[in-house]
Amino acid sequence: MPFQIVRNDITKMHVDAIVNTASPVPGYGAGIDKAVYKAAGEKELLARRQEIGAIEPGNSVITSGFDLPARYIIHTVGMPWQGGECGEEAVIRKCYKSVFEVALENDIESLAIPLIASGSYGFPKGIALRIALSEIEAFLAARDMDIYLVVFDEKAFALSSEFYGDIDEYISDNYVEEKVEEEYHTFGRRLFAAAEDAPMMAQSMARSLDDVVNNLDKTFMELVFSFADARGLTDVEVQKRANLDRKAFSKLKCGTTKNPSKATALALAIALRLNLDDTKDLLSRAGLALSPCSKQDLIVRYFIEREVYDIYEINVALFEHGEQLLGSQNA
């Protein structure tokens, strides 16, 4: 998958390279830096680091992974948080850019990266996450690479409520497990309310009905491309916005994969910036539906209703709630 959030010890990641938040001078500090030295082989890594010498904040260098599962370590130097008025954000953004540049120079295809500067350097995690998501998204818009944002402990990543304070309340209000009977009792009230709203909805309903009639005979992917054409999106733009692996998207496009997984179908709906009705229509072409019994579906619905179509932010919320992320290598 092009981008994933995983909970793991970064030193145990089986990737081409991991990123270490390094000390500017040879030696190691606390947190990830110390863990990387211990796992890689302190003596060998320190000797190589001494050969490299000092690293300026925002810059990155690469070394062997030594005893790590990863082949390489990319060492990047951040900057402590000082209130936000000393150019800290610019330095951390430069860290991500220089990491990606080094990765490309060394033909890295898979990269595990921590939330830079959010540990001992004291960056507010909300700001650190915003920087990470925007820089990763900008990079992947133009390049192909499997990037894992690695989180070690649960407390370090409780951030969706900071971005969207009412998301847990929304899930609580809408999530049902065994409320079928309650749903039947309230069905009549919903019909009555819908009837009251009918005059205001008539025009939009007519337009939606026209769209449905015109698209009745389309398969799932035919409808995807119909929406994409209407929005002026290329296949590559749809694939990247959906956080889909290029091969997986190609299989869907060519018909090798007939029907997508739920995560892939939702990812494509987000990529196309579909409203709720169009999302339901698209899902139905693959025999799928939005369910109030699925927290994944409710979280995606929450963002669609608010017209927030950033799949990276949606995946943060899904990750925090223990749900499957959108997009998949195996569509």
Q: Tell me: the pLDDT tens digits for 143-187? A: 999 999 998 765 555 555 566 668 888 888 898 754 444 444 444
Mean of pLDDT values over 290-311: 95
State the Cα–Cα distance between residues 173 and 169, nearest whole angstrom.
Answer: 6
Q: What is the pLDDT of residue 103?
A: 98
State the Cα–Cα distance between residues 144 and 159, nearest whole angstrom.
Answer: 27
Q: What is the pLDDT of residue 167?
A: 83
**Does the pLDDT of residue 120 top 90, yes or no?**
no
Topology adopted by domain 3-157: Leucine Aminopeptidase, subunit E; domain 1 (3.40.220)
Q: What is the pLDDT of residue 178?
A: 47
Residue ranges matching CATH 3.40.220.10 in the chain: 3-157
Q: Which residue has the tokens 């949606």?
A: 314
3-class secondary structure, 38:
helix
Q: What is the pLDDT of residue 57?
A: 96
Least confident span in 59-63, 114-118, 151-155? 151-155
State the Cα–Cα distance between residues 143 and 103, nearest whole angstrom.
Answer: 11
Q: Which residue has the tokens 């402990």?
A: 153
Q: What is the pLDDT of residue 122?
A: 86
Query: Residue 122: left (phi > 0), alpha (psi -120 to 50), or beta?
Result: left
Residues acting as catalytic residues: 33
State the Cα–Cα distance between residues 2 and 242, nearest whole angstrom.
Answer: 10
Give the contacts of 304 (CB within 8 A, at least 6 positions apart): 269, 270, 274, 275, 276, 279
Residues 46, 70: contact at Cβ < 8 Å? no
Listed ranges 103-117, 202-216, 244-258; the one with the highest mean pLDDT: 103-117
Q: Tell me: the pLDDT tens digits for 260-297? A: 999 999 999 999 999 999 999 999 999 999 999 999 99
Least confident span in 18-22, 100-104, 250-254? 250-254
The two tokens of residue 45 are: 């890594």
Mean of pLDDT values over 34-41: 95
Q: What is the pLDDT of residue 184?
A: 43
Q: Kindly report the average pLDDT of the chain as a whole number.
A: 86
Q: By C-alpha distance, which of 16, 315, 41, 262 is closest to 146?
A: 16
3-class secondary structure, 7:
strand
Residues 280, 297: contact at Cβ < 8 Å? no
Mean of pLDDT values over 109-136: 91
Listed ranges 2-6, 27-31, 39-43; the one with the highest mean pLDDT: 39-43
Amino acid symbol at 241? R
Mean of pLDDT values over 290-318: 94
State the Cα–Cα distance between residues 61 and 102, nearest whole angstrom.
Answer: 7
